[in-house]
Amino acid sequence: MTKLLELAKCKKGVFITGTGTDIGKTYVTALLAKYYREQGIDVAYYKAAISGADTIPESDAGYVKKIAGLEQSDESMVSYLFSEAVSPHLAAKINNRPIELDKIVGDYQVVRDSHQFTVVEGSGGIVCPIRYDESKKILLPDIVNALGLSVIIVADAGLGTIHNVVTTAAYIKTLGIEIEGVLLNNYTGDLMQKDNYYMIEELTGLKVIGTVAPNGENIIF
């Protein structure tokens, strides 16, 4: 049994974060949801806030739904949708639509209670402001804690990933959030990437629980 399948057997959800933007987090999240569905798991997707899309079908949520073949209503997948391609806290300010943690928790619980397992995707890297104004300050880890989830880190397998994974993992650990492991995207298995794989495990104490080849259609274990 893979670590990912074991996770779905004993928990109700997991939070997917990345070492930054544009490292393929949504792509890998879609393959993760697809894997669970193919294993017979009733899997769902949820993301608190999406910016840079006018509709859910053309957003990250729509992409995951299509690739994973999820049978889930669009409205249940996202709590806040903004057209501006900026950080959620700024998009919320532009639209004068403050993001509320209570709504996120409530929306997630509806999805969680309706499915066997929920893959929750974060926005960008773990240090992402979701709301930041005089009234409230909400960062991504606040959502992780409010939902009671552990984390999987998605990282690109290429040059620089050792630093990115080690610093991301170290920050998450300071918050007392459990990390399930690392998924490496764009993994070719060349000499450098094999060393990256090894050094990530050595320096973080975490396991690389899967890899995705460039343009891969499945997670490799």
DSSP state of 215: T
Phi/psi at 7 (5° precision): -60, -45
- Please give the Cα distance from 88 to 72 (Å, whole number): 23
Is 66 an annotated catalytic residue?
Answer: no
What lies within 8 Å, CB to CB, of 45 at 6+ separation is 29, 33, 61, 64, 65, 68, 70, 72, 77, 118, 119, 120, 121
Neighbours of 148 (CB within 10 A): 13
CB 39 within 8 A of CB 95: no
Q: 148 in the Ramachandran plot: left (φ > 0), alpha (ψ -120 to 50) or beta?
A: left
Chain center to CA of 141: 12
Q: Which of 25, 47, 65, 207 is catalytic?
A: 47
- Residues with active-site annotation: 47
